Structure 1
C-alpha cells in the first residue's frame, strides 16, 4: 500500500471511531446531531491480501501442532477472529457446551504493557460459532492450563484469559509472531501475514457457498457491504457454480429425460 493509501486508511479509521462515538453521544442526548455524517471519509486503497487453500491450511496446522500457540492459529483460521480478539479472549467468553465464543475485548500492548480494549465497533462485539474440532482443542488447552495453575500455585497470574504464558500472564505478541514465521518456513506454505488467516477463513466460507451475511457476522464487519467489497475477488469465481446449480434445480428432470431419449435412439 502506498503512503497516500496508508494515510487514507488511517483517516477512514479515525472517522469510523469518531462517527461511532458521536452516534453514542446523540443517543445519550449530549449533542443534537452527528456532525461526522456531513463528512465523507477518504476511500482507502483496496486491501492487499493473500489467502491459503484448504490444503495449505491443513499442512500448516499439522506443522503447528507442536507450537504452544497452536490454539491461536486454529481459532484464527476457523473463526476469522483478529489476533487481538483471540489474545483478549477469556474463559467466561467461551461456551464449550454450545460451541461458541463471544468477542468482548481485545488485547494490545502500549509501551510494553498489556491493555484491554473494547472492540472498535458495536458489530465487533459478536458471537462466533466454533467447529467441534476447535471445541475439543479448547478443552485440552483448558486442562493443560489448569495443571499449570496447580503447579505454580500463588505464582500463577490468573487473568481468566484463554491464551496465556505458562504463568497465566497475557501472551507475548512478539513470541507469537516469531513462532508464526518459523512455522511458515517449516511447513512450506505460502508466506502470508497472520491477519491473512482472517481473509483465508472468509474466502473459504464464500467458496463453500456460505451466505455473505453470515460471513459478515462472523468477521464482525459493520455492514455486509464491507464484506462484499473486501472479498469481491472470490465471488466472481462462484458465478459458474451458481449458474450450474440453478440450472440443475430448474431443468434437471428435463435434461434427464432428454439424456434417456438420446441414449435409446
Structure 2
C-alpha cells in the first residue's frame, strides 16, 4: 500500500465500470485535511496517478504549481509587490487590468508549461491595435511571467528571450502631447474665463489655470489643502495626490514618485488664482480646497479633463489631453531660460534625463538662437584684428 507523509493509508474498490478506485486522505498545501479518489484501469495505474498527484502537491507546498497559468503567476507577483509597498494603489490597479486582458486570451488560459512560441507570437500579433505604450506593458508582463516560471522550475527555458519573439509595433501613430503655443495659450485663457458651466455642475476653471501656471499634475492640484500653500514664503508644498482605487478615487498621502514631493514656486499670475480658490472653499470631510460638493467626494483628473476638452473646442485649439497644460508651463519656463535642473525640481521629475527627454524638442528649438551668440563672437574677434 502507498504511504506518504502527506497521505494516510487509503482504501481500494472496483467500481461498476470495472476500473479500480483508490480513495485516500491527504494534507493540502494549506495544512488542511482532504479526501481524494484516483481511478485507473489497474492498481499500478492508480498508484502511478497518485504519485503524480502527490508530486504536484509537493511542488505546490514549495511554491511551485506546474499547472499555473501566466495570469496566476502574475497575480501572485503584483499582489506581493503591492503588499510590500513596491507599487502604489494606482499602479496596482493598472497591473491588474493588464493581467485581466491577458487572461481573456488563450495564452492566458493554458498552463504556462504548455505555452509555445507560436502561442506567444499569435497573441503578440493581436496586440497591434493597442498603443505602443500599452503593448509594451503586455510584453513586459509576459517576460516577467516566464522569468518567474523559470526561477520556480515550472519551465526550463524562457521562450520570451528567443530572438524571434519581438515586441510588436502598434498600428496607431504615437500621439505626442505638446504644450500650447503662446497664441493658443492666450486663446485658452480667454475661453476658460468665458466658459459658462451648466447649473448644478462643477466648474474646474481654477484647477486648469493653476496647472497652466504651476506645472503641477492635476491629481496633485485636486489634493491641495490650504496648509499646503505658503503665501509668505511663496511656494506650494506638494505631498499628496488623488489616485484611482479599485472601488473609488482616494487621497494618496505621497506623490506619483519620490521626487514628486517638492515645493513649487508661486508666480505672480498663480497667486490670485490660489487666493480665489481658498476664498471659494467650503467645509468638506477631507479639508480640500477643491471638492465635489455635488457627488460629495474628491475630484478626479478625468472630471477636469472633460471640461478641458470642451474649452479647447470653444477656443479652436487642438486637444492633446489636459496634461498639455503641464507641458505648456514647462515650455514657457524653457523659453524664459529657466535652467533644466530647476525645472526638473519644479515638475517633480525623477531625474534630469526625464526633463531633457520629455522637452527635447523645446530645448532644441531654443538652441537655434545660439547661432547669434556665435556670430557676435566672430564679429568681436574681427574688430580686435582691426
* Residue segments in structure 1 that go unaligned for 5+ positions in a row: 13-41, 150-155
Given the alignment, which residue of 264, 277, 292 partners 1:128?
264
Per-residue CA distance 1:119-171 (angstroms, 9 max, x = gap): 132211111112112111211221122xxx3xxxxxx4242212223477422
1:170 equivalenced with 2:298 (yes/no): yes
Of residues 284, 307, 323, the one that matches 1:157 is: 284
The alpha-carbon deviation at position 185 of structure 1 amounts to: 1.0
The SS at the match of 2:286 is coil
Output the CA distance in 1 between the equivalents of 2:315 and 2:274.
Answer: 23
CA, structure 1 residues 173+187, in 2 after alignment: closer, same or farther (shift >3 Å)?
same
1:9 offset after TM fit, Å? 5.5
TM-aligned CA deviation for residue 181 of structure 1? 1.3
Q: State the TM-score, normalizing by the size of structure 1.
A: 0.71
| Residue equivalent to 1:186 | 314
- 1:8 matched residue in structure 2: 136
Long gaps (5+) in structure 2: 1-128, 141-166, 196-202
Aligned pairs (5 A) from 1:24-173: 48-66=176-194, 68-111=203-246, 113-117=248-252, 118-145=254-281, 149=282, 156-166=283-293, 169-173=297-301
Paired residue total: 220
User: How far, CA to CA, are the matches of 1:7 and 1:220 in structure 2?
Assistant: 26
Q: Any conservation in 2 of the 1:51–1:200 contact (CA below 8 Å)?
A: yes
Candidates 231, 238, 252, aligned match of 2:366: 238
Higher-helix-fraction structure: 1
**How well do the aligned residues superpose, as a CA RMSD in angstroms?**
3.2
Asked whether the 8 Å contact 1:92–1:160 carries over to 2, the reply is no
Cα distance in 2 for residues equivalent to 1:47 and 1:222: 23
Q: Using a 3 Å threshold, how does the CA distance of structure 1 residues 144 and 47 change in structure 2: closer, same or farther?
A: same
Residue matched to 2:331 = 203
Distance 2:139 2:261 in 1: 23
CA shift for structure 1 position 174: 4.4
Cα pair 2:210 2:274 within 8 Å, conserved: no
Q: Give the greater-gyration-radius structure (CA).
A: 2
- The whole-number CA distance in structure 1 between the counterparts of 2:136 and 2:186 is 36
Instruction: Please give the residue correspondences for 1:224-263 in structure 2 after superposition, counting only pairs within 5 Å.
Output: 224-245=352-373, 247-248=375-376, 250=377
